[in-house]
Amino acid sequence: MNIKDYIFVSKIFNSQECDDIVNKTNQYTWRKHRWNSSSTKGKSVEEIDDILVCNIDPTLESKITPNLLSVFGKYSILHSPQNVPIQLINQWDTIRINKYTKDVGMRYHIDHGIDREHPVLTIIVLLNDEFTGGNTLVLNEEVSLKKGDCVIFPSNFMYPHEIKPVIDGTRYSLTTWAY
């Protein structure tokens, strides 16, 4: 298999479901994105950027969960020798919404770091299309996503990814990591 075979794109939400998620999360309190990265001395360093994030409430999470389970199931079948689902994960992180405004993107990175828990899969769902720029890149190649599409890929060092800065408008995406 080719390394790119593990980058999977699928429709997960319809347009109205995406709009409902964005409208609901715009009622939440947003905060600046924070993460830990490793310093050159091997210690964790907290970093902050201009991406705004919010976690979703349990009611909204219960509406989103069946879609996530379905798409994880499709992904697991693709990589099963017998073409039947295999258990790749047993939980995922808190579902988070990322909000990228003009000139904001997420730098090139991996999700499976030295000082973090060890996610197996990364999932990014595009929730709107009223923006320019903000392209999703995995392995330095653009992944074409439409509103309601998700991309799933391994979280390890072989799958660096980034979100290019938004040129105009606001980009909303749902993100979580499976373990």
pLDDT tens profile 70-118: 998 888 887 777 766 667 777 888 899 999 999 999 999 988 765 556 7
Q: What is the pLDDT averaged over residues 38-65?
A: 80
- Cα 163 from Cα 155, distance rounded (Å): 15
Domain 3-178 carries which CATH code?
2.60.120.620
| Residues facing 37 on adjacent strands | 45
- 46 vs 63: CA distance, rounded Å: 32
**pLDDT at position 59:** 94
Residue 33 in this model has a pLDDT that exceeds 60: yes
Residues pairing with 10 in the sheet: 150
- Report residue 62's pLDDT band, with 50, 70 and 90 as the boundaries: very high
pTM above threshold 0.85: yes
